[in-house]
Structure 1
Amino acid sequence: MSILLTPTARNATAAAFDPTSTPARTNGAPTYSAEYLSELKASTPSTRPRLQDDDSISYDADVSLAADTLAQSSLASIVDLTGDADTEASILSSSAVQAAKEKRDRLRKMRTTADEDFISLSVTKHSDIPQGPHPESRLMREEDELGEGDDEYAEYTSAQERIALGKKSKKVEARKRREEMSELILEAEEQDEETMEWEAEQLRRGGTYVDEVKGEAAKPVYKPAPSTTSSNVSLLVPTNAPIPDLDLAVARLKGSLTSLTTSHQQNTASMASLAQERVQLEQKETEMREMIVKTEDKRSWFAAFREWVENIATFLDEKYPQLEKLEEEHVSLLQERYDLISQRRRVDDDDDLSLFLGSLPAPPQSQEIDELGRVVPVANSTALMRDRTVARSGRRLRRRAQNQTQEEEGYSTDATLPPSDAADFQTAISKLLNKGQDVLSDVRAKDFREPSQGLGKWFGEWREKFGDSYTGAWGGLGMISGWEFWTRLEILGWDPLEDKRSLDTFSWYKSLYGYSRPRHAEDDEDDEEPELGPDGDLVSAMISTAIIPRVCKLVDGGALDPYSAKDIRNLIDLAEQIEASTERDSLKFQTLLKSVLTVFQRAVESAETAVAPYLTLNRPRFDPESVPARQRFLARRQKLLNNMVRWRKYSGERFGIGMLITNLVSSCMLPVAESGWEVGGEERMKKTAAMLPNELVPVVLVDRLEGGK
């Protein structure tokens, strides 16, 4: 609570306390005497002066606002300051306080200012104040008060600030902000003289002010030396100090020099190591940059390579079915030719067997009816045999005229087609070759037509640029799997037992041979043949992958005639070429040997099947043609036996070929020879035993020859 003093009271207080009667000071500190203290006590009032209800009293705003609180509090006191200073204060009674409170409540309820006894404490009229949502209530909410201060304190609450949105307005706002900051900095740096004087006065009043300005050094004042007496001469004269020793100083200097030298050496070594480390870091940085460049080149190259491989895969998926269809067509042509030759040879064997062992009973034949419903007459078997004999004699005469040699009858085996069938076969082979050329007729890209321009180029770059990944991924074998298509397309229509071309005459052989032996820039073309690359000999890989399986299919399909000496000779030459590129014990090469043996087994089984019914019948008849017929039959079997022996000499005893030879001699040739042992059978079997190795001569044949002697 604030207590307001009237001018009279203020004058009385000022008169009671005279500032001139200040306490005495000794060395800057005040000294309070008894007279001064008694005078100060007498001039100080002991109680508060009484406050009278007078219109002349000046009220402060804080006092007017706290009037209700004074009336309600039992400890409140009203001081009258209109009288003298010595006037004693009086405390109102509770009844007076209660009457005053009732009067003020009654006047407040009347809401009028006409009564002189009520003075409004508010500057504004009560009717001008907003009454709020509850005008009968004396309580007021914060939001109902007049003037919330938003406009008054807008400068400090950022209520008037606006957010700059445009580029130009942002620049203006930033410039104003910089100017305001500059003004604040300048205001903080400026020193107002009046402000400084006020602060100095406050410090002086608080007793902490220093007259000397900080930062100014006190001027030196000369002070004479005190007089010396006998009592303090020892205090003024310093004691004697020992003279420094030269050796100690030199040792100390040497120690300092040593420490400096050691520190210099350490610093030099540190600098050298840092320089070396910097060089190493620069080298590593260079290596890392080169590695990054190489990695990026590798990534971009492999991305292009992958795209090309996908195109090749799509191309092969489209072309492979066409190639396989043509290969099957070629095998079917060879099978048809083999069937024609085998059928004619079987008929010749039946004619010869019927001449010296008797004719088999004719099986009952059903009547054949043509498309018009007429019965087709059955040809006479005797007439057909006579026609075949005449045709056979004509072929033999033509063959002798061409070869100019007297060849034994039956030894030629008639392994050729008739002229009409041979012409048809050649026509079909020519059409097959034309179809093979049409497979790539719609291809214009050179790298898809020539594998050396596509596969050889890309895989060669891979081997040259990224040799480690190429070797680790077996890139050469991957190239072979793609090159196989062009290799098989090139050998389409090739009959290795009729065509005398060797494997090294094909273009795929030459391309793979050159790819397997890459030439480097430093190699001279006149030098010897370059060494094999990391892939090894890819020619052998292609032979194992494409050539051997193809040859096996051709042999099984009828390309090999087991009675033809020329086919066996060409087959041995081809096997030697394949063996030079692959290992003899490899699985693919053994597959080729097994295919050849299968053809011989079919020939032996066919001969045994043809002889068995005639041996069972065994009704020989007197016929001058029976002796030559027996000789022709044994000559054909002897030709088959000779081919089997030659193949065994090359392949060795594999898959039981020796047992097959023994079985042919004992179960097929010997029984036929015994039917005319005296008329040429014994002589034929002696020749047979002479051409066989000793371990393959059957025991029954040895016994028969020895018994005949």
Structure 2
Amino acid sequence: MSEGSITFKKRTKPSTRSKRDIESDADATTEVPSEVGGGESPISLVTKLKKRVKPKSRLSFGAEEEEGDGEVFQLKKSNLSRKLELSKQSSLTSGVLTSPFNPIAGTPPSTGPSYSAAYLNELKASTPSSRPRVADDESISYDADVSMGTSMYSTQVVDLTEDAEGDTVIPSGASITAAKEKRERLRKTVASGSEDYISLSLTKKENYSTGPHPSSRLVREEDELGEGDDEFAEYTSAQERIALGKKSRKVEAQKRRENMNELIADAEEEDEETMEWEQEQLRRGGLRTESPAVSAQKPVYKPAPIPTPTQIPTLGAAVASLSRALATLTTSHTQHTSSMVSMGDERTRLDLREKELRSIIVTAEDKRSWFAAFREWIESVATFLDEKYPLLEKLEDEHVSLLKERSEMIAKRRLAEDEDDLSLFLGGLPTPPREQLEETDELGRVIPQSNPTIVRRERLAARNLRRQHRLASKSARQNQEDEGFSTDSSLPPSDAADFVTATQKVKSKSRDVLADVKAKDFLDPRAGLVKWFGEWRDRFGETYTGAWGGLGMVGAWEFWTRLEILGWDPLEDTRTLDTFNWYAALHDYSRPRQQMDEDEDMEPELGPDGDLVFAMITTAVIPRVCKLLEGGSFDPYSGKHIRRLVDLVEEIEISTTKENAKFEMLLKSVFLVFQSAIKATEAVLPNYLALNRPHFDPEAIPARRRFLVRQYKLLHNIVRWRRYASDKFGLGLLVSALVSDCIFPVAEGGWEVGGEEVMQKVVGVLPPELVPVPVKVRMSLK
């Protein structure tokens, strides 16, 4: 160190920083030069000592790191690298003591070597230029731990990464350190303005800003970057406090122990990368003995195999090969094209299928919602019918009972007249003595028993009055022909009026069935049934046809049909079936006008249900007519009834067929009415024929004629019915039984007094195959 410079070093208190931070700060220690005779006061010297240059952290390869607010990169060094660094520092301090270069210092000593060409050649020859050779496969690198010298004015950096030409290699760390020491020594002995030496610094003095007063060693406070104590208080221990109390000293001791433990833990931390890095540094510094590299095995020459000679292809073979390749490519192209077309078609089909599925989903949801509402409405209709059907059936039974009562009255009167006539020309039956119980009325009075003789006399008087009334209104010939026809389903005026009153009462009750109903759907089936079932048929035709929706509607409509025909006597009322409202409504519903025909007069075609009028007739009308016929609406002795019955059956036959089971049930009902009339006559006549005690009475001949004419009329009605119904249920046998058992025995007893004339009419009416053999024999003896 020169005499004209004094170096002050500030001693700091041991801090709690880690050993690694202390080592990084060791290289950045700044020496403050000063002149003894400068005339500066001690206060200014102390101020200069406080000003410290901000330490610059260095990377492992020696380049300066730019200052910033970011985190400084610190290289973790192992114990071995620290020992190596300490050995380098000791080698530097063991030689000539160096002092920082001060360009403002006084005149340098005159003694010192000069940098001549001879000296430089000698220096180059004495400086080793290479390090011990290493294995051939080891990569060349530089020593990242070599630190360059640092002064407060400049930084000298040696670039060791440049590639050397020829055999020149990167010098070792020891040679670099020796060169640095020698250059530092020479720099101190050479004048400041001399440029006859080679500087290792990449920059020159002129490149630095010397401030407004370059010749002055004083630095203004505003020229500095900042106050060192405040900016680097963490590293200068400016904020440390001396513990005075016992508790504070214990806390400080505890902190020191924790710092020591941290340093020990950091020293013991060794990983694979760190150990590899240490070994590499030892190898570079020549401190590690290289193990002899395993010599690579000498490769054995292996000659390349000689390929089998192949024949030179000819043009034909090449053309054939190209043709095959072209055919293969053409086939592949065709297949790919067809695949693309098929995939396109498949995609189109999938798109169409997707649209169909979406439409199906929409239709299904619409269908579900509609059928939910339809089901709710059907349930309300079912509840309504469950409540109203008993009232309807009660009124129907009441109407049938009225017809039955009228029929019994007429049959009883006719039977009494027949008995009176038989007693006139065959003799009266003896009245057997019988004990009759006394009958009492509502007040408990005994009803006197009627005398049969007196009753018969009263009936004859009443019949004579009716006959006289009829004779007064008709000619004598008609009177004679109509004799015996006066009892055709006619009631006395008082009874007839009572029957009409009762019938009107039943009809008024039928209107009261729906008196409490306000909903239009239940009052008129065209507003409810036709609307819902018609919408079902129009929107969901397949399900409507599959579920026989038309028959379902007919089953629900049956209530309103039976209610409308309640009180209707098919043989007394002149109305036909097509005059009812239900007939017209079902006729229009069965023939929907889907498109207008050119000829508007043409009847539209039937819908998918067919003719629902036929279904309603077979379901509701025929069973009702059968009950009315069997209940007494049909009088087998009435020619008017038989004519109306034939018309009614023919009208029903238009909507159905004769083979239908319901239609045959109607024919059977008519047959049963005829059979019951013949059985009633057969039950009375044998007793009088067995008695056969005629007596002289002027009324005997007219009485016989009346009886025969009445039976002839019954026969005439049966034969007329048989022309329409043919021989169903044994009508031929019934006709033969009536002629053989009822007409012929009475006619044969009075053959000369009108019996022969009546039998001729009978034979004329009967088909030849139905004429009994005794009748044929008797008629042939004429």
CA, structure 1 residues 262+208, in 2 after alignment: closer, same or farther (shift >3 Å)?
farther
The answer to whether the aligner puts 1:366 opposite 2:436 as a matched pair is yes
Residue by residue over 1:537-575, the C-alpha shift from the partner in whole angstroms, topping out at 9 and shown as x without a partner, is 111111111111111101110001000011111111111
Pairwise CA distance, 1:693: 1.0
What residue is the counterpart of 2:353 in the other structure?
Answer: 284
The answer to whether the aligner puts 1:475 opposite 2:549 as a matched pair is yes
Pick one of 280, 301, 306 that aligns with 1:204: 280
Pick one of 409, 412, 431 that aligns with 1:343: 412
Q: Match for 2:540: what amino acid? A: F
Pairwise CA distance, 1:392: 1.3
The answer to whether the aligner puts 1:328 opposite 2:434 as a matched pair is no
What residue is the counterpart of 2:630 in the other structure?
Answer: 556
Q: Distance in 1 between matches of 2:502 and 2:447?
A: 32
Q: Equivalent residues in 2 for 1:16-31 (5 A)?
A: 28=135
Q: Distance in 2 between matches of 1:206 and 1:682?
A: 166
CA, structure 1 residues 400+27, in 2 after alignment: closer, same or farther (shift >3 Å)?
same
What residue is the counterpart of 2:758 in the other structure?
Answer: 684
Q: Equivalent residues in 2 for 1:21-420 (5 A)?
A: 28=135, 201-202=277-278, 204=280, 269-364=338-433, 366=436, 368=438, 370=440, 376-401=447-472, 405-406=478-479, 407-420=481-494
Residue by residue over 1:22-54, the C-alpha shift from the partner in whole angstroms, topping out at 9 and shown as x without a partner, is xx956549xxxxxxxxxxxxxxxxxxxxxxxxx
Q: Equivalent residues in 2 for 1:572-587 (5 A)?
A: 572-587=646-661
What residue is the counterpart of 1:659 in the other structure?
Answer: 733
Q: Distance in 1 between matches of 2:440 and 2:501?
A: 31
Pairwise CA distance, 1:329: 0.4
RMSD of aligned alpha carbons: 3.3
CA contact (8 A) 2:678 2:738 kept: yes
CA, structure 1 residues 631+197, in 2 after alignment: closer, same or farther (shift >3 Å)?
closer
Pairwise CA distance, 1:199: 6.9
Pairwise CA distance, 1:646: 0.4
Pairwise CA distance, 1:600: 0.7
Q: Distance in 1 between matches of 2:747 and 2:470?
A: 27
What residue is the counterpart of 2:516 in the other structure?
Answer: 442
The answer to whether the aligner puts 1:628 opposite 2:702 as a matched pair is yes
Structure label with greater radius of gyration = 2
Deviates more, 1:197-206 or 1:570-579: 197-206
CA contact (8 A) 2:488 2:637 kept: no
Q: Distance in 2 between matches of 1:425 and 1:380?
A: 29
CA contact (8 A) 2:658 2:664 kept: yes
Q: Distance in 1 between matches of 2:347 and 2:460?
A: 103
Pairwise CA distance, 1:264: 6.4
Q: Distance in 1 between matches of 2:439 and 2:729?
A: 49
CA contact (8 A) 1:367 1:375 kept: no
What residue is the counterpart of 1:520 in the other structure?
Answer: 594
Q: Distance in 2 between matches of 1:402 and 1:205?
A: 161
Q: Match for 1:204: what amino acid? A: E
Residue by residue over 1:194-227, the C-alpha shift from the partner in whole angstroms, topping out at 9 and shown as x without a partner, is x999577335169799xxxxxxxxxxxxxxxxxx
Q: Can you give the 5+ residue segments of structure 2 that lack an aligned partner in the other structure? A: 1-82, 88-130, 137-270, 286-312
CA, structure 1 residues 418+203, in 2 after alignment: closer, same or farther (shift >3 Å)?
farther
CA, structure 1 residues 523+462, in 2 after alignment: closer, same or farther (shift >3 Å)?
farther
Residue by residue over 1:241-261, the C-alpha shift from the partner in whole angstroms, topping out at 9 and shown as x without a partner, is xxx999999999999988887
Deviates more, 1:246-255 or 1:289-298: 246-255
Q: Distance in 1 between matches of 2:273 and 2:664?
A: 121
Deviates more, 1:608-617 or 1:290-299: 608-617
Q: Match for 1:388: what amino acid? A: R
What residue is the counterpart of 1:422 in the other structure?
Answer: 496
Pick one of 665, 678, 697 that aligns with 2:771: 697
Q: Distance in 1 between matches of 2:363 and 2:622?
A: 42
Q: Distance in 2 between matches of 1:373 and 1:536?
A: 64
Q: Match for 1:422: what amino acid? A: A
Q: Match for 2:735: what amino acid? A: I
Q: Distance in 1 between matches of 2:466 and 2:279?
A: 151
CA contact (8 A) 1:367 1:376 kept: no
CA, structure 1 residues 289+622, in 2 after alignment: closer, same or farther (shift >3 Å)?
same
Q: Distance in 1 between matches of 2:726 and 2:742?
A: 23
Q: Distance in 2 between matches of 1:284 and 1:206?
A: 80
Q: Distance in 1 between matches of 2:526 and 2:489?
A: 40
| Percent identity over paired residues | 58
Q: Match for 1:318: what amino acid? A: E
Q: Match for 2:711: what amino acid? A: R
The answer to whether the aligner puts 1:462 opposite 2:536 as a matched pair is yes
CA, structure 1 residues 338+446, in 2 after alignment: closer, same or farther (shift >3 Å)?
same
Aligned residues: 491
Q: Distance in 2 between matches of 1:601 and 1:304?
A: 53
Q: Distance in 2 between matches of 1:387 and 1:297?
A: 79
TM-score (norm 2): 0.58
CA, structure 1 residues 351+318, in 2 after alignment: closer, same or farther (shift >3 Å)?
same
Q: Distance in 2 between matches of 1:264 and 1:208?
A: 67
Residue by residue over 1:433-465, the C-alpha shift from the partner in whole angstroms, topping out at 9 and shown as x without a partner, is 011011111111111111122111111111111
Residue by residue over 1:665-703, the C-alpha shift from the partner in whole angstroms, topping out at 9 and shown as x without a partner, is 111112212222222222222221121111111111122
CA, structure 1 residues 278+376, in 2 after alignment: closer, same or farther (shift >3 Å)?
closer
What residue is the counterpart of 1:54 in the other structure?
Answer: none
CA, structure 1 residues 400+506, in 2 after alignment: closer, same or farther (shift >3 Å)?
farther
Residue by residue over 1:247-296, the C-alpha shift from the partner in whole angstroms, topping out at 9 and shown as x without a partner, is 99999999998888777666655544443333222221111111110110
CA, structure 1 residues 246+595, in 2 after alignment: closer, same or farther (shift >3 Å)?
closer
CA contact (8 A) 1:360 1:617 kept: yes
Q: Match for 2:775: what amino acid? A: L
What residue is the counterpart of 1:541 in the other structure?
Answer: 615
CA, structure 1 residues 207+289, in 2 after alignment: closer, same or farther (shift >3 Å)?
farther
Q: Distance in 2 between matches of 1:508 and 1:524?
A: 28
Pairwise CA distance, 1:650: 0.8
What residue is the counterpart of 1:83 in the other structure?
Answer: none
Pick one of 626, 643, 653 that aligns with 2:717: 643
CA, structure 1 residues 682+207, in 2 after alignment: closer, same or farther (shift >3 Å)?
farther
Deviates more, 1:291-300 or 1:458-467: 458-467
CA, structure 1 residues 657+255, in 2 after alignment: closer, same or farther (shift >3 Å)?
closer
Q: Distance in 2 between matches of 1:630 and 1:259?
A: 118
CA, structure 1 residues 620+196, in 2 after alignment: closer, same or farther (shift >3 Å)?
closer
Q: Distance in 2 between matches of 1:381 and 1:249?
A: 139
Q: Match for 2:467: what amino acid? A: R
CA contact (8 A) 1:357 1:615 kept: yes
Q: Distance in 1 between matches of 2:601 and 2:704?
A: 64
Q: Match for 1:420: what amino acid? A: S
CA, structure 1 residues 370+200, in 2 after alignment: closer, same or farther (shift >3 Å)?
closer
